Homo-oligomer: A and B are copies of this chain.
Amino acid sequence: MVIRKIIVGVMGGGMASPSDYKIAYNLGGLIAKEGWVLLNGGRPTGIMDASAKGAKDKGGLTVGILPAYDSHQASCYIDIPIVTGMGDGRNYINVLSSDIVVALPGKAGTISEIALALKNRKKVILVNFDTGVLFEDYSKEGLLKDARDEDEVINIIKEEFVLKQ
């Protein structure tokens, strides 16, 4: 019987600013060091590529849920490409497959993942991403949290999963 590792979903834009790219890269590395699995949207760009590279540079395991029809579309830092062939329909699978979702800044794709996660009662940690009033109800419930940086993300995940068990 397997002791299943925590799967941390890291979402964010296909285009990333240098500072967000760096946070995503560092976060991937920290997830790997904790022995957790990194899951993302699998594309070779932006936050997805950065977080996967960070995890691989620290010897982690990376899973990418691809919108594409072919595993060759994956980032070269993805160990396990899951090929859905269903475009952004795969955003739903991204969040259902994550034990917890971390969202760095992104546009409508990332916002859809935050929304689908909250709709399906997954905890979401926003890093450096101001979503305004839109998800206020979920913050009040404690489903949606803010983190300043990658270290605070790791601390929140530990509080949720490690200390509670």
Residues in A lying within 8 Å of B, measured CB to CB: 1-2, 4-5, 7, 37, 56, 62-63, 65, 69, 71, 76-89, 91-93, 96-97, 99, 107-109, 111-112, 114-116, 118-120, 130-135, 137-138
Within 8 Å by CB of A37, from B80, B111, B120, lies B80
Q: Is the CB of A112 within 8 A of B116?
A: yes
Q: Which residues of B contact A111 (CB under 8 A)?
A: 111-112, 115, 134-135
Stoichiometry (number of copies): 4
Within 8 Å by CB of A2, from B65, B79, B91, lies B79
Q: Which residues of B contact A82 (CB under 8 A)?
A: 63, 65, 82, 93, 97
Q: Is the CB of A116 within 8 A of B120?
A: no
Q: Which residues of B contact A120 (CB under 8 A)?
A: 87-88
Select the residue from A7, A63, A119, A132 with max chain B CB neighbours within 10 A: A119
Within 8 Å by CB of A79, from B4, B71, B133, lies B4
With A4-B81, A111-B135 given, name 16 new contacts (CB 8 A): A37-B80, A63-B82, A82-B97, A83-B93, A84-B86, A84-B96, A84-B97, A85-B89, A85-B93, A85-B96, A86-B93, A87-B120, A88-B116, A91-B92, A111-B112, A112-B119
